[in-house]
Every structure is written in C-alpha cells, then in structure tokens.
Amino acid sequence: MKITDIITRNNIFLDFTSLSKKALFKNIAEKVNKQTDANQNEILDKLNHREKLGSTNLGDGIAIPHAKINGITKIFSLFIRSKNLIDFSTSDKKGVDLIFVIIAPEDSKTEHLLALSTISKFLRVEKNITKLRKLKTSDAIFNLFLKSSVS
C-alpha cells in the first residue's frame, strides 16, 4: 500500500484552525460524512472512543486519529496541517499540528493496520515531517506523498 492509495489530493487540508481536539474531531466527522455514507455522529463517537483508549498523539506534533465505521466500504483518509497546535492531552504537553486521519470499514482487519503502517513508515523519514510543515500547497504535499518510496 502506498500513502497515495489512501490519501487523495482532495483530502489534504492546510492552514486548519481548530482550537481544540473536540473541534478538530467535529470538523473531521463533517468532512468524512460529506464524502462517504458514514454517519457523522458515529464518526465523532468512534474517534472520541478511540482517543479515550489511548492518545493517538505520536509525539513531535503528529497524531493519527483513527476509527472503524459502519457505512463505508474502503479506507478513507485525510491529512490536516493545523495553523495552531492542538492539545491532545498527553504527558509530553506538546500540541499537534500534523494530523493523519484513517477511517476504515467496521469489518476491516488487515487493511486498517496496513494504512496505519504505511503512514507510520512515511513519518519515520525526518525530512518528510519537515517538508509537511514547510510546503505551501496541497499539491506540493501530494507530490511529496507520490515521491515517497513507502509502499
């Protein structure tokens, strides 16, 4: 799986301005609902439930909130770069500005884990993280995803 298999050019959002994790998750639920048959309230509930199990903040300003949802048939992902740091309430006390969202079908097993693994491998390359913060357009970020050798 390549990162461009799960994140399309149209699902890259820059200069996001959510002031809290709650507002971020609400906005994510709205975006996913507009592009899929998934119920907005279920998306929000599942993202919040997953976060209560343990923070999806990886550190270094990066989070991968994810959930399994009824009503979708394939992995749906977003990349969000926030203008401000969003508090993910973790022990490192640092906010998050780079957010990869994964919404998987409820019955997904390996596909969900493969998507998490693909994004994690991409993020292991330090220059990718630096570029995600510096690139000016969603096209430039999508091209970074295309050029990455992660598969």
Tell me: the pLDDT tens digits for 39-52? 999 999 999 999 99
Q: Which domain holds residue 130?
A: 12-138
The answer to the question of residue 1 being in a domain is no
Confidence of residue 91 (pLDDT cuts 50, 70, 90): low
Give the distance, in angstroms, between the CA of residue 12 and the centroid of all CA atoms in the same chain.
10
CB of 132 closer than 8 Å to CB of 98: yes
Cα 8–Cα 115–Cα 122 angle in degrees, nearest 5 = 80
The answer to the question of residue 150 being in a domain is no
β-pair type (57-59, 76-86): unpaired
The single residue of 66, 82, 102, 108 carrying the catalytic annotation is 66
Residue 150: how many other CB atoms lie within 10 Å: 18
The answer to the question of residue 46 being in a domain is yes
The answer to the question of residue 24 being in a domain is yes
Residue 66 falls in the annotated catalytic set: yes
Domain containing residue 33: CATH number:
3.40.930.10
Q: Based on the structure, what is the number of domains in the chain? A: 1
Q: What is the value of pTM for the model shown?
A: 0.92
The answer to the question of residue 20 being in a domain is yes
The answer to the question of residue 43 being in a domain is yes
Q: Which pair of tokens denotes residue 94?
A: 């640092």
